[in-house]
Amino acid sequence: MGKLIIFDEQKKVFHLKNNFYSYVIQIVMDKYLLHRYWGKPLREFRDSAALTMMDRGFSPQPEEINHDRRFSLDVLPREYPDTNHGDFRTPAYQIMLADGTTATEFGYNGYRIYEGKPAIKGQPHSFDKAGQCETLEIELISVNNDLKIFLNYTIFPDSNALVRSVKFVNIGTENVKLLNAGSLSLDFTDHDFIRYSLYGGHAAERSLERSELFRGIQENSSTRGASSHQQSPFIALARRNADEHQGDVYGFSLIYSGNFSIRTEVEQFGTTRVVAGINPANFTWTLEKGESFETPEGVMVYSADGLNGMSKCFHNFWQKHLVRSKHVNELRPILVNNWEATYFDFNEEKILELADCAKELGIELVVLDDGWFGKRNDDNSSLGDWFVNREKLPAGVAGISEKVRAKGLKFGLWVEPEMVSVDSDLFRAHPDWTIHSNAVKSSYGRNQLILDLGRAEVREYVIKVISDAIKEAKVDYIKWDMNRHMTEPFSNALPADRQLEASHRYIMGVYEIMEAITSRFPDILFESCSGGGGRFDAGMMYYMPQAWVSDNTDAVCRLKIQTGTSLVFPPATMGCHVSVVPNHQVGRITPLNFRGLVAMCGAFGYEMDICRMSDEDKAEVKEQIKLFKDIRPMVQQGEFTRLKSPFAGNDTAWSFTSKDGSRMAVMYFRILSQMAPEVGYLKLQGLEPNALYRISTFKMPEHAHEVNESYLKSNDIEGKEFYGDELMNFGLTITPALLDFAAYMWIIEKIG
Ligand code: DGJ
């Protein structure tokens, strides 16, 4: 019997328990699987809040219940509910049998508890290098003995996360069709929650939606072939009294990058069901005799410490149990990317000039973005033709790479392997290699089409040409982009009755390619991207330890985008760059100081022509880089806390605490200057109450903001010492600044 998972034979109760939570499943009538509890750890589950069953009108009984009208699957708290068989709530799965029946009946058929966790073949999945996690596998079997379902639950000793996945196995003699295959489901006994989710659009990703959990179904989902900018595979249910720092919060996320769905349903009696997994819209999967299907993993996190607590659980879990890259715990190089500096208009000379300026400023990595291949001088051509444009780069990418590296810098390259331009040699040679239907005309996005990565020969081609390009270029970093969503999801390699498999097969193909390429080049730092943050999800994070947060580089917009992203992902995963003003996306003019500090809250870099700056700006950038090198371990390896939210008002504050707790960087941003402003008190979090801390204030360059300088002097806490309890309970004063876009930073150093 395991240490983290206990099965009580008598009560038929599975109790999964670590220092952070208890999760309880019960088998009733030797058949039905009920969800009984999830929350603070319980010493022992004795069923104090016993199931109350009563006769509920219009809630049917299974046949074997002998007409006891109190028993109905429609009202019981269920662990993995079916449909069309007495439970009218949102199902976790649905199977169509060979004769067209869409009702199924499964019963409990045993369990297995073992150390470690299963890898999910061909898909990103969490792992436990220390081998201390435990897995419970519950087996269900259909009454006709033709199908099995395995429910997997993995609990880790060091994490608030519970990982779930499901495997369907056809043990019968006929083909069946999965119409829905959720990764996780559970029922809460009430609906006293606030529901949080993340919504957005291109260049406006991950805004926070906070809503009442209402009666009926609420859904966050994507049918775009990608997790998308528009909705994220995440929701949280927070108790009404919970806030950023305290209270019960239940977070849900999926290790999946394709079409997903996360639903909550508050039903007639006020209970709440949560179901998450592949979006059943646009999905079916045929299981032939002997075949099995494994769902993506769902990750559920329970935090008693508010939304920040939930985010910290996710952050730690991904970094320790999901991100595979050897760079996961390494400091990320400060980069300059030429995209907003040159767009497609570059040549070797310009890139080398950028490298010289980068070197002078202290930047560590030069990234060559889109436009180095085929005849790509705008975004209408050449995707798929991954050979160097010798007109722009006579010595090839390899030539530039060598010269950049000779300067003591690293070199990085942009690719978009999943796509093909209509105007490309690849498309002319293989027009059938794209996702398209012959029955309707294709829709175009950025004049490009999506390669049908469900097909082995297309995957092989992509792996080969991209690997060759990477090998030839000799790069330290790759930015892997993906710039359109899927329409007409149809694969010419599939029969008619399997066409709804195309979207999932595509994303499985993407995973296979990423697996091959990232394993072939383990030293390369990969950054995923999809027109900014259109695939900022845990599936991508398995292969690539960071992602470009957004195509919107405006620092004011970034406050919200980075805050929203931080609900689920830590700063080390967020590509954040300083760009020019007026900002290219929204036209706003903000001070370099403000732009710098906002971008320093992640994987920091510049995305502008760093050679065409005034001497004063160059001096300021040098200072920023020096400063960032000092705070980088706190930002990228420490613990992140949201102190003030841009979704609540004019001010944003974040803190980053070093791993050993001895240093903290606090960032404070005020967007607009106001008349009759309130004086703010910023209460810090996560210090030791009895430890003494010294404060130093980041001084902005003299020329930058004289008013700011006088603001900082007026507070004058530079060099002063305070105990942790005072800093956390009384806090720091934020005197209103007489300027827009004010940004400040303090370093809090433990001295005793
Ligand atoms: C979209 C990305 O988000 C940008 O950063 C840039 O790489 C362009 N694609 C290039 O086409």
Convert the pLDDT of each residue in 643-672 to its tens digit: 999 999 999 999 999 999 999 999 999 999
**Given 87, 128, 476, 551, the catalytic residue:** 551
Give the pair of three-digit tokens for residue 748: 């809090």
- The catalytic residue among 481, 537, 554, 651 is 481
Query: For the segment 708-743, what is each residue's pLDDT rounded down to a tens digit?
Result: 444 444 467 889 999 999 999 999 988 777 778 988
> Is residue 346 within 8 Å of residue 392, measured between CB atoms?
yes
C-alpha distances in Å from residue 264, one per residue of 72, 179, 188: 21, 19, 10
> Among the CATH numbers 3.40.50.1370, 3.40.50.300, 2.70.98.60, 3.40.50.720, which is that of 5-41+57-321?
2.70.98.60
Is 385 an active-site residue? no
CA distance 524 to 519: 10
Residues 501-555: pLDDT tens digits? 999 999 999 999 999 999 999 999 999 999 999 999 999 999 999 999 999 999 9
For residue 639 and ligand 1, the question of a CB distance below 6 A is answered with no
For ligand 1, is residue 481 a contact (CB within 6 Å)? yes
Residue nearest to atom 1 of ligand 1 (CA): 531
What's the rounded Cα separation, in Å, for the pair 475 and 411?
Answer: 5
Question: Among 286-295, 337-346, 666-675, which stretch is predicted with the lowest mean pLDDT?
Answer: 666-675
pLDDT digits (tens, 9 = 90+) for 8-58: 999 999 999 999 999 999 999 999 999 999 999 999 999 999 999 999 999
Residue among 338, 414, 550, 608 whose CB has most ligand 1 atoms within 8 A, to mutate:
414
Closest C-alpha residue for ligand 1 atom 10:
370
Gap from CA of 143 to ligand 1 centroid (Å): 52
**Percentage with pLDDT > 70 across the chain:** 97
Are 183 and 165 in contact by the 8 Å Cβ rule? The answer is yes
DSSP character at residue 620: H
Contacts of 196 by beta carbon, 8 Å cutoff, 6+ apart: 208, 209, 210, 235, 236, 237, 238, 307, 567
In short, whether 529's Cβ falls inside 6 Å of ligand 1 is yes
369 lines ligand 1 (CB under 6 A): yes
Cα–Cα distance for residue pair 528/550, rounded to 1 Å: 11
Give residue limits of the domains in the chain.
5-41+57-321
- Average the pLDDT over 459-472 and give the result: 98
Atom of ligand 1 nearest to the CA of 607: 5
Whole-number average pLDDT of the chain: 95
Is the distance from the beta carbon of residue 414 to the nearest atom of ligand 1 less than 6 Å?
yes
Query: For 631-734, where are the E strands, in sequence order?
Result: 639-644, 651-657, 663-670, 680-682, 692-697, 721-723, 732-734
Smallest CA separation from ligand 1 atom 11, residue:
370
pLDDT at residue 74 is higher than 50: yes
> Residue 369 C-alpha to ligand 1 middle, in angstroms?
7
Question: Does position 700 have pLDDT exceeding 70, yes or no?
Answer: no
Cross-strand partners of 317: none
Find the mean pLDDT for residues 151-162.
98
Asked if residue 72 lies in contact with residue 86, where contact means CB atoms within 8 angstroms, the answer is yes
The CA angle 656-563-297, to the nearest 5 degrees, is 95
The pLDDT of residue 2: 52
Whether 305 is in the pocket of ligand 1, judged by its Cβ within 6 Å, is: no
Q: Is 483 in the pocket of ligand 1 (CB under 6 A)?
A: yes
- 667 CA distance to ligand 1 centroid (A)? 28
Confidence of residue 702 (pLDDT cuts 50, 70, 90): very low
Question: Is 149 a residue whose pLDDT tops 80?
Answer: yes
Cβ of residue 25 lying under 6 Å from some atom of ligand 1: no
Residue 229 alpha carbon to ligand 1 centre in Å: 14
Q: Which of 370, 416, 528, 558 to mutate to test the pocket of ligand 1 (most atoms within 8 A of CB)?
A: 370
Residue 1 banded pLDDT, cuts 50, 70, 90? very low
Ligand 1 pocket, 385 CB below 6 A? no
Instruction: Respond yes or no: is residue 551 known to be catalytic.
Output: yes
Distance (Å) from CA 401 to ligand 1 centroid: 20
Q: How far is the CA of 426 from the centre of ligand 1 (A)?
A: 21
Q: How many angstroms separate the alpha carbon of residue 427 from the centre of ligand 1?
A: 21
The answer, yes or no, to whether any atom of ligand 1 lies below 6 A from the CB of 548, is: yes
Ligand 1 center to 617 CA (angstroms): 25
Residue having the nearest C-alpha atom to atom 2 of ligand 1: 531
Q: Which atom of ligand 1 is nearest to the CA of 532?
A: 3
CB within 8 A of 226, min separation 6: which ones?
A: 257, 258, 482, 485, 486, 507, 530, 534, 535
